[in-house]
Amino acid sequence: MTADAMTASTADAGPEVHGRRDAEGTKAAIIRAARYLLARHAHADITLRAVAERAGVSPPLILKYFGNKDALFARVMNFETDADALLDAPLAGLGRHMVHHLLTGQAEHGADPILRIVFAPLHGEQGDILRSNFRTQVAQRLGERLEGPDAGLRAELAVGTLLGLGVMYGIARGPHVRGTPIAEITERYAPTVQGFLTPP
């Protein structure tokens, strides 16, 4: 199973600042590399050396920034920061924002805020952590913003609808979806997502 659009096709070592590696850029490269590998291999099979090679850094540098493999993957399996950006819009226009954010993240940055949840079955007990984080940090958080009946259900349906688009765009790589401008896909798809957020 692959997810080329979930992460950058290459994870560079990070920008150089005055001849020294920029720490934040390097951390970001390491996290991108870990996400890339997590979308293709079981958690237990991923080594720090593999992450380091993918990120273009040394294994000791990963230990310096993250402490150990478990701490690194705890960051990778956390959705809080991604959810901040995904849900950063007024409720009336949130469906449009979520669709546009998902597609532009994949198309322009090779990153996806939530699609890695579909690989939870690969990761055993770590997959349970991924599921739990996703439920509380994305679906439940969205539900808390909604008004009216069945807010939790509507939030899960909205997120599920968004994930379907992400799978078609980033994993199945549907040629018609990928060949259509993001603005047009957003225009067509956003009302479906918004319908769960602010039902008539």
- Residue pair 13/26 in contact by the 8 Å Cβ criterion: yes
| For range 51-75, the mean pLDDT | 88
Per-chain mean pLDDT for the chain: 85
pLDDT at 110: 67
CB atoms within 10 A of CB 44: 11
Of all residues in the chain, what percent carry a pLDDT higher than 90? Answer: 48
pLDDT, tens only, 64-109: 998 888 888 888 888 988 899 999 999 999 999 999 999 998 888 6
What are the φ/ψ torsions at residue 196 (nearest 5 degrees)? Answer: -80, -30
pLDDT, tens only, 8-48: 333 333 433 333 458 888 888 898 888 888 777 777 888 89
